[in-house]
Amino acid sequence: MIKVSTTQIDSYNKYLNGYLTEDQIMDTLLRRGTSNLKMELGSMFHSLIELQDAECPAIFNQEQITHARSFFKDGMHEVKTRQVFASCIGNIAITGVADYLVGTKVMEAKTTWGQFSIDRYLDSLQWQIYCRLFDASQIEYVVFEFPSLSTKFKTIQDINIELQYKAMHMFTLPKPKDDKESIDTIINNLCKFIKAKGIESEMQMDADEILFDTF
């Protein structure tokens, strides 16, 4: 069975809207992209929120990490789900990982480098799909805005200053009115794209993975 992630569906939608090239969407589908410094720092910051007893590295500010952690307590971190979707090419598995789940609310911790733009999140399919995957009543984004990174930093080891976020943006998106048909159409078009490119065999679900529900 083909497995597609929420991130891959969102990326395909960006490809349809001209934000990604065909090479870029193929790299995303086949998981052959490489991470850049901003992604690595974002992952490190995210892990410090998830692992609340982890030691704060020198490149981040301990007081800020403590403050960021305070918004993500008393719930479940890194909640995964995997559900069946009856697509136009047969059943596929759709996967998602919520940063934090508390009751019926999904919380997502994000980092951004440079100027914050809410459109980046409003235009994403991620939060709409998460409402269905996790039967969530709302999605709350917590976005930590860092200054633009100096181009002299090529790796984490190059960073010789303390990185501090200059603002934190919190906003809640309520469960959208039934937009099931349009999302289903995008997923079906993605499935046709996968089939047309002949990459079904490279996107198969592992034999030991369990399906939890129907999307």
**Exposed e or buried b per residue across 62-99, where buried means at least 16 C-beta atoms within 10 angstroms of its C-beta:** eebbeebbeebeeeebebebbbebebeeeebbbbbebb
* pLDDT tens by residue, 93-151: 999 999 999 999 999 999 999 999 999 999 899 999 999 999 999 999 999 999 999 99
* pLDDT tens by residue, 23-81: 999 999 999 988 899 999 999 999 999 999 999 999 999 999 999 999 998 899 999 99
Average pLDDT over residues 152-161: 94
- pTM assigned to the model: 0.90
Give the angle subtended at the CA of 146 by the CAs of 9 and 143, to the nearest 5°. 45
pLDDT at position 81 is 92
Residue ranges of domains in the chain: 3-214
pLDDT at position 2 is 94
What CATH number labels 3-214? 3.90.320
